[in-house]
Amino acid sequence: MRALLRCLLVTLLVIAGTATAQAIDPLPFKDHAQEVRFQNLTRELRCLVCQNENLADSNADLARDLRHEVFDLMQSGKSDDQIKQYLVDRYSDFVLYDPPVKTSTMLLWFGPLAILLAGAVVVVFTVRKRSRIAPPAGVDDKPTDEGDDW
């Protein structure tokens, strides 16, 4: 019985280990500087499938394909800006983690600030309204102890 439990435990650990292991995608870089450039560039680009991960961290098939495309563009001598522009032309500004400020991205850039300011205005008006309704400071709200038999 113990041997069966050990076998089951080992099988579960192997399955869990393979499910959480990330695929390493070896690419033949010319030198360490090119590898660092590739890593920095793929961290600035968004995975279009996961949407919350960058290309460097994503295991999606599309992310793997885009990493290979970025690598091929680097090998052909393209600059980082040219690579980003190529991907933006194909996938729009959504592929960038840091999209440029323009009319189509104004809500993205300034929307959170607008929501925060609107919340602050609501809090200020609510506090002012409640302070006007509150009883004067001279009135004692505590019940008297007269009549208590305790």
Query: Does pLDDT of 9 surpass 90?
Result: no
Q: Are residues 30 and 67 in the same domain?
A: yes
DSSP code of residue 43: H
Residue pLDDT, tens place only, 25-83 = 677 888 888 889 999 999 999 988 887 888 888 888 998 999 999 999 999 999 999 99
- Residue 19 is predicted with a pLDDT of 43
Our count of domains for the chain comes to: 2
- Residue 139 is predicted with a pLDDT of 57
d(CA 34, CA 70): 12
Residue pLDDT, tens place only, 121-146 = 999 999 998 888 866 666 555 665 56
Q: Are residues 51 and 67 in the same domain?
A: yes
Q: Are residues 94 and 122 in the same domain?
A: no
Q: pTM value?
A: 0.58
Q: Are residues 94 and 43 in the same domain?
A: yes
Q: Are residues 73 and 111 in the same domain?
A: no
Q: What is the dihedral of CA 85, 89, 94, 95, to 10 degrees?
A: -50
Task: Classify 109 in phi/psi space as left (phi over 0), alpha (psi -120 to 50) or beta.
Answer: alpha
User: Has residue 19 been placed in a domain?
Assistant: no
Q: Are residues 60 and 125 in the same domain?
A: no
Q: Are residues 85 and 60 in the same domain?
A: yes
Q: Are residues 109 and 90 in the same domain?
A: no
Residue 10 CA neighbour count, 13 Å, CB half: 6
At 16 the three-state DSSP class reads helix
Is the CB of residue 28 less than 8 Å from the CB of residue 72?
Answer: no
Q: Are residues 88 and 128 in the same domain?
A: no
- Residue 131 is predicted with a pLDDT of 86
Q: What are phi and psi of 32, to 5 degrees?
A: -65, -35
User: Has residue 140 been placed in a domain?
Assistant: no
- Residue 122 is predicted with a pLDDT of 96
Structure tokens at 57: 């961290």
**C-alpha torsion sign, points 57, 60, 66, 69:** positive
Range of the domain at 113: 101-132
* Residue bearing the bigger pLDDT, 75 or 22: 75
- Residue 97 is predicted with a pLDDT of 82
Residue pLDDT, tens place only, 79-106 = 999 999 999 999 888 898 888 888 888 8
